[in-house]
Amino acid sequence: MASLTNLWTLFQYFILGIVQGITEPIPVSSSGHLIIARELFNIEASGLSFEIFVNFASLLAVMLIYRQDIVRLIVNTWKFLFKGDRTVKNDFMFVVYLIIATIPVGIIGVLFGDVLGEVLSGTNVVGITLLITALFLWLIRNLQGRKQDGEISTKDAVIVGFAQAVATTPGISRSGATIVASMLVGMKKETALRFSFLLYIPVSLGTGILEIPEIVQDPAMGQLWAPYLLAFITTFVASYFGLKLFMNVMRQGKLEYFAYYCVAVGLLVLFFL
């Protein structure tokens, strides 16, 4: 009987890993989907430590896909700051704008992170915010921006940063909010996509570092190390292919597919959960 219970627990966390991995990069809200999955499968993964743990797996997948951009930005920022190479100023400014865009969510996270996670974690909230996500994805579905990496402004970075702060609400997609904001300020799809996911890196890293004590002290980490590890691996693989899928959909200009999905899931959650 115990072995069956263990297998069921592994299966539950495998599902959570799949859900987190696929929904983190695409604009449908991973936090909202985790709440839905927990409700459907009656999984007791309470607190933020599990979400932060699997978010780190998604972060590694994003860094793997954008590894060339990351290396280029680090190298060129070093060249600009310490070697005075003006030819790489655009890359340096891109990093500056990523830092600026990180500030709003950092402030919101420090001041209200725990409260938002607890108060706004109900399925009704997720259903409503998924519908809001769908509306904004629908509104920008045909936008064709002109701004490339070197044409982003401080104002653009601030707007995208506040959009990311709004996405701390479960059901509001982080990638969706930042891409919607990026395209509304005129960025090209490729630039909006790159800015959104490179922006995910400092936010996810910072959150993970700040929450290390909570993760270490969480008794579930010791009791459920095998399910957590399975969820971590599953999340990494699913995030990698989820982001590849999203990049392909963006290239094809089919963002409305995600709007339809968010409407369907949002309505199902409101009426049946």
Mean pLDDT (the chain, rounded): 86
Amino acid in the structure at residue 186? G
Q: What is the pTM of this model?
A: 0.88
Mean pLDDT (whole number) for 151-171? 90
State the DSSP string of 7-69. HHHHHHHHHHHHHHHHHTTTTT-HHHHHHHHHHHHT----SSHHHHHHHHHHHHHHHHHTHHH
- CA–CA gap between residue 186 and residue 9 (Å, rounded): 46
- Residue pair 273/56 in contact (Cβ under 8 Å)? The answer is no
- For residue 187, pLDDT over 90 is answered with yes
Amino acid in the structure at residue 78? W
Mean pLDDT (whole number) for 144-159? 90
List, for residues 70-97, the tens digit of each pLDDT value.
999 999 999 999 998 999 999 999 999 9
List, for residues 224-238, the tens digit of each pLDDT value.
788 889 999 999 999
Looking at residue 211, what is its pLDDT?
73
- CA–CA gap between residue 66 and residue 246 (Å, rounded): 14
- Using CA atoms, how far residue 261 sits from 17, 47, 122, 128, 240, in Å, is 20, 27, 20, 13, 20
- CA–CA gap between residue 246 and residue 269 (Å, rounded): 23
Opening angle at CA 22, ends 164 and 247, nearest 5? 70
- CA–CA gap between residue 202 and residue 72 (Å, rounded): 16
- CA–CA gap between residue 205 and residue 46 (Å, rounded): 21
- For residue 220, pLDDT over 80 is answered with no
Looking at residue 114, what is its pLDDT?
57
List, for residues 25-53, the tens digit of each pLDDT value.
999 888 888 888 888 877 765 556 778 88
- For residue 120, pLDDT over 70 is answered with no
Least confident of 62-66, 221-225, 248-252: 221-225
- Residue pair 217/178 in contact (Cβ under 8 Å)? The answer is no
